[in-house]
Amino acid sequence: MFKIMLIEDDITLFGEIRERLAQWSYEVYGVTDFGKVLQEFTEVKPDLVVIDIQLPRFDGFHWCRILRNHSNVPIIFLSSRDHPSDMVMSMQLGADDFIQKPFHFEVLIAKIQATLRRVYNYSTERTELKTWRGTAIEFVKNTVTGSGGAVLLTKNEMLILKILLEHKNSIVDRGEIIKSLWDNEHFVSDNTLTVNVNRLRKKLEPLGLDTFIETKVGQGYMATEEAAE
């Protein structure tokens, strides 16, 4: 049974969502202190987080940043705000999806199911190690280990690396990567992918791998065996 942490300060909406998710056999946990979200998250250890943007004390973006520093758990944003920048910001922070309020519960459940299926099926199927340029890539743990140490990637960063390595030495179209990462690519700007790739490169830099992911202007990205000049 999957555990879902619902970070929502609207008591009525929280109760409605919890009741609907319980019908699908999900365990739903709320937040008792909106100033201690990380502490409660650590105690619950949820499989997925659904979080509102507008919260007491700190907004959802703040907590998404904090959670991403500690975990790769999938995150879905809820928001009554409809500005495109909120959608883009959520993706840039490493969220997996964005749902606009008001919403149909069927849509929320479908997105939760799709996210859990994508994240955890991927994790269970990809248990083997892959090597690249003298490093060991462990898909389940989202780690890349080499002589320079080990780096922890977010789920999306690992998926980008996985896609590029599956097409090593070939250009992967930007649009194809976006579709593989986010169900709602309509809400994802081209810049969102750029931010994620740049973040991946920065994390791979201590291992000397950052120059092996090349940008092909107007086309996409390519992972190579030889560093770009």
Segment 188-227, tens digit of pLDDT: 667 788 888 999 999 999 999 988 999 998 889 999 876 5
Phi, psi angle pair for 193, to nearest 5°: -65, -40
Q: Please tell me the distance from the alpha carbon of residue 79 to that of residue 100, in angstroms, as a whole number.
A: 5
Q: Please tell me the distance from the alpha carbon of residue 119 to that of residue 114, in angstroms, as a whole number.
A: 9
Mean pLDDT (the chain, rounded): 86
Segment 114-170, tens digit of pLDDT: 888 887 765 555 546 788 888 888 887 788 998 888 898 888 888 899 899 988 899
Name the pairing type of β-strands 75-79 and 48-52: parallel
Q: Please tell me the distance from the alpha carbon of residue 189 to that of residue 182, in angstroms, as a whole number.
A: 11
